[in-house]
Amino acid sequence: MQFEYDIQGGDFSSAGKASSDIKKILKQLNIDPQVVRRIAVALYEAEVNVVAHAYKGVMRVDLDAQKIKILLEDEGPGIENIERAMQEGFSTASEEVRQMGFGAGMGLPNIKRNTDEMHLTSVPGKGTTLEMTVKF
Protein backbone atom coordinates (compact mmCIF):
# COMPACT_ATOMS: atom_id res chain seq x y z
CA MET A 1 0.00 0.00 0.00
CA GLN A 2 1.22 3.45 -0.83
CA PHE A 3 0.08 6.82 0.45
CA GLU A 4 1.15 10.37 -0.30
CA TYR A 5 0.52 13.56 1.66
CA ASP A 6 1.33 17.16 0.83
CA ILE A 7 2.55 19.15 3.81
CA GLN A 8 2.33 22.94 3.84
CA GLY A 9 5.01 24.90 5.68
CA GLY A 10 3.65 27.06 8.47
CA ASP A 11 0.27 25.28 8.59
CA PHE A 12 0.35 24.18 12.23
CA SER A 13 -3.42 23.60 12.28
CA SER A 14 -2.92 20.65 9.90
CA ALA A 15 0.35 19.40 11.43
CA GLY A 16 -0.07 15.77 12.40
CA LYS A 17 -2.88 14.93 9.98
CA ALA A 18 -0.78 12.60 7.81
CA SER A 19 0.78 10.82 10.79
CA SER A 20 -2.66 10.43 12.38
CA ASP A 21 -4.07 8.91 9.16
CA ILE A 22 -1.20 6.41 8.95
CA LYS A 23 -1.58 5.51 12.63
CA LYS A 24 -5.27 4.65 12.04
CA ILE A 25 -4.37 2.47 9.06
CA LEU A 26 -1.70 0.60 11.04
CA LYS A 27 -4.16 -0.05 13.88
CA GLN A 28 -6.72 -1.40 11.38
CA LEU A 29 -4.02 -3.77 10.08
CA ASN A 30 -3.48 -5.05 13.65
CA ILE A 31 0.17 -3.99 13.75
CA ASP A 32 1.70 -4.38 17.23
CA PRO A 33 0.66 -1.31 19.29
CA GLN A 34 4.27 -0.72 20.44
CA VAL A 35 5.37 -0.58 16.79
CA VAL A 36 2.44 1.69 15.87
CA ARG A 37 3.47 4.07 18.66
CA ARG A 38 7.08 4.21 17.41
CA ILE A 39 5.93 4.91 13.87
CA ALA A 40 3.43 7.55 14.99
CA VAL A 41 6.09 9.39 17.02
CA ALA A 42 8.60 9.37 14.16
CA LEU A 43 6.00 10.43 11.57
CA TYR A 44 4.61 13.22 13.73
CA GLU A 45 8.07 14.62 14.51
CA ALA A 46 9.02 14.52 10.83
CA GLU A 47 5.76 16.12 9.75
CA VAL A 48 6.08 18.94 12.30
CA ASN A 49 9.68 19.55 11.17
CA VAL A 50 8.43 20.20 7.63
CA VAL A 51 5.66 22.50 8.90
CA ALA A 52 8.06 24.39 11.19
CA HIS A 53 11.08 24.73 8.91
CA ALA A 54 10.16 24.30 5.22
CA TYR A 55 8.00 26.06 2.64
CA LYS A 56 6.34 22.80 1.64
CA GLY A 57 6.96 19.08 1.52
CA VAL A 58 5.62 15.69 0.58
CA MET A 59 5.40 12.52 2.65
CA ARG A 60 5.36 9.21 0.79
CA VAL A 61 4.52 6.06 2.72
CA ASP A 62 5.13 2.55 1.43
CA LEU A 63 3.60 -0.18 3.58
CA ASP A 64 4.02 -3.94 3.19
CA ALA A 65 3.69 -6.98 5.45
CA GLN A 66 7.18 -6.62 6.96
CA LYS A 67 7.81 -2.89 7.24
CA ILE A 68 6.84 0.70 6.64
CA LYS A 69 9.11 2.98 4.62
CA ILE A 70 8.59 6.73 4.75
CA LEU A 71 10.16 9.33 2.51
CA LEU A 72 9.80 13.03 3.29
CA GLU A 73 11.12 15.59 0.87
CA ASP A 74 10.82 19.28 1.56
CA GLU A 75 11.63 22.56 -0.09
CA GLY A 76 13.11 24.96 2.39
CA PRO A 77 16.29 26.34 3.90
CA GLY A 78 17.82 22.89 4.38
CA ILE A 79 20.06 21.86 7.26
CA GLU A 80 23.51 23.42 7.45
CA ASN A 81 25.02 20.85 9.83
CA ILE A 82 23.20 17.50 10.10
CA GLU A 83 25.48 16.18 12.86
CA ARG A 84 24.67 19.22 15.00
CA ALA A 85 20.96 19.05 14.12
CA MET A 86 20.90 15.45 15.44
CA GLN A 87 21.98 16.59 18.93
CA GLU A 88 19.21 16.66 21.53
CA GLY A 89 18.16 20.21 22.29
CA PHE A 90 19.65 21.81 19.16
CA SER A 91 17.04 23.80 17.25
CA THR A 92 16.86 26.47 14.58
CA ALA A 93 13.14 27.03 15.17
CA SER A 94 11.94 30.62 15.24
CA GLU A 95 10.75 32.25 18.45
CA GLU A 96 7.19 32.13 17.06
CA VAL A 97 7.43 28.34 16.54
CA ARG A 98 8.86 27.89 20.06
CA GLN A 99 6.01 29.90 21.58
CA MET A 100 3.57 27.43 19.99
CA GLY A 101 5.31 24.61 21.88
CA PHE A 102 7.42 23.27 19.03
CA GLY A 103 11.12 23.54 18.24
CA ALA A 104 12.61 22.03 21.40
CA GLY A 105 15.30 20.27 19.39
CA MET A 106 14.04 16.75 20.07
CA GLY A 107 12.45 15.99 16.68
CA LEU A 108 15.39 14.39 14.86
CA PRO A 109 16.67 12.51 17.95
CA ASN A 110 13.12 11.18 18.55
CA ILE A 111 12.88 10.07 14.92
CA LYS A 112 16.21 8.23 15.16
CA ARG A 113 15.20 6.58 18.45
CA ASN A 114 11.87 5.36 17.05
CA THR A 115 12.98 4.00 13.67
CA ASP A 116 15.05 1.00 12.61
CA GLU A 117 16.70 2.98 9.81
CA MET A 118 17.00 6.72 9.27
CA HIS A 119 18.82 8.55 6.49
CA LEU A 120 18.88 12.34 6.42
CA THR A 121 20.33 14.40 3.59
CA SER A 122 20.06 18.12 3.02
CA VAL A 123 21.16 20.79 0.59
CA PRO A 124 21.31 24.22 2.27
CA GLY A 125 19.09 26.68 0.43
CA LYS A 126 17.21 23.89 -1.36
CA GLY A 127 15.67 21.36 1.04
CA THR A 128 15.91 18.19 3.05
CA THR A 129 15.19 14.51 2.41
CA LEU A 130 14.44 12.11 5.27
CA GLU A 131 14.07 8.35 4.77
CA MET A 132 12.81 6.18 7.62
CA THR A 133 12.07 2.49 7.96
CA VAL A 134 10.35 0.62 10.80
CA LYS A 135 10.11 -3.16 10.65
CA PHE A 136 7.07 -4.97 12.04
Q: pLDDT at residue 63 above 90?
A: yes
pLDDT in tens, 65-97: 999 999 999 999 999 999 999 998 888 888 888
Q: pLDDT at residue 53 above 90?
A: yes
- ∠ CA 50-99-17, nearest 5°, is 35
Domains of the chain, first to last: 2-135 (3.30.565.10)
Pick the closest to residue 130 from 79, 65, 88 (CA basis).
79
pLDDT in tens, 10-42: 999 999 999 999 999 999 999 999 999 999 999
pTM here is: 0.92
Are the beta carbons of 57 and 81 closer than 8 angstroms?
no
Distance between CA atoms of residues 12 and 101, nearest Å: 11
